[in-house]
Structure 1
Amino acid sequence: MDRERPCERDAFLSKCVVVYTTLIGKSYTLVCPNCSCLAQTYITYKRKKKVWVRVAFLTSLCAWILSSFYSYFILTNFNNTGDLTIVYSVPVQMYTLLSGLVRYMLKKDEYNILILGLDNAGKTTLLEHTKIKFTSGYTGKPFHKITATIGLNIGKISAMGVELLFWDLGGQDELQSLWDKYYSECHGIVYVVDSLDENRVDDSRLAFEKMITNEHLIGVPLLFLCNKQDMQGCLSVNQIREAFSDSATKMGKRDCSVRGVSALHGQGIEDAIVWLTQAVVKNNETRPPINKDD
C-alpha cells in the first residue's frame, strides 16, 4: 500500500482506504475523511485463489469496521449535568455489516447433482453411502429397508470446500419422463448401471442415450458407475463399457469417468465423488454454482 502522505491519525484505526475488487486490473479507492490521505491496493482475482481474495477483503473490511467503531459508534459528551453520555449512532448498521460479513465468509458454493439410472440399480443406496462417507456422525438408514424411489430423494454433503446437493430420481419407466425437468438446473450427472442385471443393460443404454443427448445437458460432467461389482456373476466394467459403446459418439464434449463400485459396501464411492466434485468445479464457467459470487 503506497500513501501520498502519512495519515495524521492512528494508522490502524483511520479509514485511509478500503479497497476490494474482483476485476483484474481495476480497483476502487476511498479517501480518508479525516486527513484526505490517498491509498490504493490492487487485488488480482483468480478463481483458483478465491480464498486469498476473501482474506484480503476481510482484512481491509475489519480495518474499516474498527475505524468506524472508533470514529462513530461510541462518541462521548457531557450533558448539562456533567453526566457522561454514550451516543450510539450506528449500532444497527454495524450489526448488519458484521452479520453480512459472517454469512459471506462462511457460505460455500453449491452444485446440484442428478443420480439417474433404472430402478433397482442401487441409486438410493449409493446416495446413503455417499452421505455416510462425507458426513461426520451420519450412520444412514439400514440398507435392507431401502425401497424403490417414488419421486426423488435428496441429500447434501460437503466435499473439498463446496456443497453437493444430490437429487436421486426414480428410475421406473413412468418416472423417467420427469428426469428432464431437472436437467437445466444440474451441474453434474451420476448414471448408475446394475452390473448384475444383464437382461436390462440394453434398456439402461436406451435411457442413457435419451438423457445424455438432451440439449440442457451439453457439457455437463458425467460420472458413469457400474454398480454391484462386489457380486458374483456381475458384468465387468469393460463389458458394460462395450455394451454402451454406441453411446460414446452421442455424449459430446464433456468430462466423463467410468468406474466400478459397490454402493452396498461403499467400495470406490469416495474416489468417484471426489472426481465428480473436481469436475463440476472445473466446469463452473459453463455452469456457475448456486452461491457463485458476481
Structure 2
Amino acid sequence: MFNLMSNCCSWVSKLQQPLRKITVLVVGLDKAGKTSCVRGMLRVPPGDVGPTHGCVRTELRVENYLINLLDMGGAPEVRGSWREHYGEAHGIIFVVDSSDRQRMKEVREALVDLLKHPRVAGKPLLV
C-alpha cells in the first residue's frame, strides 16, 4: 500500500514539474540511417525512407522533456547547413553506417569538421 501511495505521489510531482525543452541535432553522411534512427526513437514502424533534404524537425516527449530532433540531410552539398543549427543544439547524434567501410575516411573528415566548430565545443556527442 505504501509503495502504491509513493508511486502516486511521485507521478503527481512529475506532472507539476515544468516541461524542459531540448534540441538534439541528428547528423551524418547521406544514407547512414539518420532518419531511420529518428523513426526508431519515435517508435514508428520501419519503412522505405528517401533522402532527407534540408532539416526535418520532429518532437519527442519523454517524461518532462520535450526533445526537438533536427534530422539533417547528409549529402555533401548540404552538410554546410549543419553549422546553422549548432548554436541551438543541446547535443548532437552523429550517425555512422559502420558496414560502409569504403566511406570511413569521408565519415572521419565530416566528424573532424563538426568537432572543430566552436559552437559544438562542450556539447554532448553520441556516435
TM-score (norm: length of structure 2):
0.83
- Of the three residues 143, 149, 163, the one matched with 2:47 is 143
RMSD: 1.5
Alignment match, 1:206? 109
Alignment match, 2:10? none
Q: What is the CA–CA distance in structure 2 between the aligned matches of 1:141 and 1:177, rounded to whole Å?
A: 30
Could you give the per-residue CA deviations for residues 154-178 of structure 1, whole angstroms, max 9, x where no partner exists? 2111224211110000000000010
> Which of structures 1 and 2 has the larger relative contact order (alpha carbons within 8 angstroms, sep 6+)?
2
Q: What is the CA–CA distance in structure 1 between the aligned matches of 2:116 and 2:72, rounded to whole Å?
A: 18
Q: Which amino acid aligns with 1:112?
A: T
- Of the three residues 14, 22, 38, the one matched with 1:127 is 38
Structure 1 residue 108 corresponds to structure 2 residue 19: yes
Flag as ranges the 4+ runs of structure 1 deviating above 6 A.
Answer: none
Q: What is the CA–CA distance in structure 2 between the aligned matches of 1:220 and 1:156, rounded to whole Å?
A: 20
Alignment match, 2:119? 216
Q: What is the CA–CA distance in structure 1 between the aligned matches of 2:82 and 2:60, rounded to whole Å?
A: 22
Indicate if the aligned counterparts of 1:124 and 1:153 stay in contact, CA closer than 8 A. no
The sequence identity of aligned pairs, in percent, is 29
Indicate if the aligned counterparts of 2:24 and 2:68 stay in contact, CA closer than 8 A. yes
Could you give the per-residue CA deviations for residues 17-46 of structure 1, whole angstroms, max 9, x where no partner exists? xxxxxxxxxxxxxxxxxxxxxxxxxxxxxx
Q: Greater CA radius of gyration, 1 or 2?
A: 1
Indicate if the aligned counterparts of 1:151 and 1:169 stay in contact, CA closer than 8 A. yes
Q: Which amino acid aligns with 2:25?
A: L
Structure 2: unaligned runs, 5 residues or longer: 1-12
Indicate if the aligned counterparts of 2:22 and 2:67 stay in contact, CA closer than 8 A. yes
Q: How many residues align?
A: 113
